[in-house]
């Protein structure tokens, strides 16, 4: 995972950590009434932080937790490492090349 950490340039110093955070907003499935652990949160933030030494730290709503805790939150939702998503051609490129201010 060290290849996702910014290696630096002539003008900018290298970083020792890379971090990705996903935020989910609570909505209830009105059709099925299915409730799962994800619904316990009004807003759920999940973050993974990778260090240069290869260690990963996980956070739920800013609180450090185990990887297993993150996996457990998503059980039964259809979201996970083995799930798939349909992504239109070019979308990944636009995401990678976009600035953080584009979403604002």
Tens digit of each residue's pLDDT (9 = 90 or more) over 57-74:
999 999 999 999 998 887
Tens digit of each residue's pLDDT (9 = 90 or more) over 43-58:
889 999 999 988 999 9
What pLDDT, on the 0 to 100 scale, is given for residue 19? 92
* Domains in the chain with CATH codes: 2-97 (3.40.50.300)
Burial of 73 (0-12, 13-18, 19+ CB in 10 A): buried
Q: How confident is the model at residue 98 (pLDDT cuts 50, 70, 90)?
A: confident
Given CA atoms 29, 30, 36, 42 in this order, what sign does their dihedral have?
A: positive
In the chain, the percentage of residues whose pLDDT exceeds 70 is 69
Sequence-ordered list of residues with C-beta below 8 angstroms from that of 48, at least 6 positions apart, any chain: 19, 20, 21, 56, 57, 58, 59, 70
Following DSSP, what letter does each residue of 23-51 receive, concatenated? EEE----TTT----GGGG-SEEEEEEEEE
């Amino acid at each position: 995972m060290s290849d996702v950490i910014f290696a630096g340039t002539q003008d900018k110093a290298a970083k020792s950590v890379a971090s990705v955070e996903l935020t989910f907003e609570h909505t209830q499935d009105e059709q099925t009434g299915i409730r799962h652990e994800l619904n316990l949160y009004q807003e759920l933030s999940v973050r993974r932080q990778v260090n240069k030494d290869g260690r990963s730290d996980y956070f739920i709503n800013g609180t450090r937790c185990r990887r297993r805790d993150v996996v457990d939150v998503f059980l039964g939702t259809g979201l996970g490492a083995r799930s798939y998503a349909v992504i239109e051609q070019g979308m990944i490129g636009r995401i990678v090349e976009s600035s953080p201010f584009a979403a604002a």
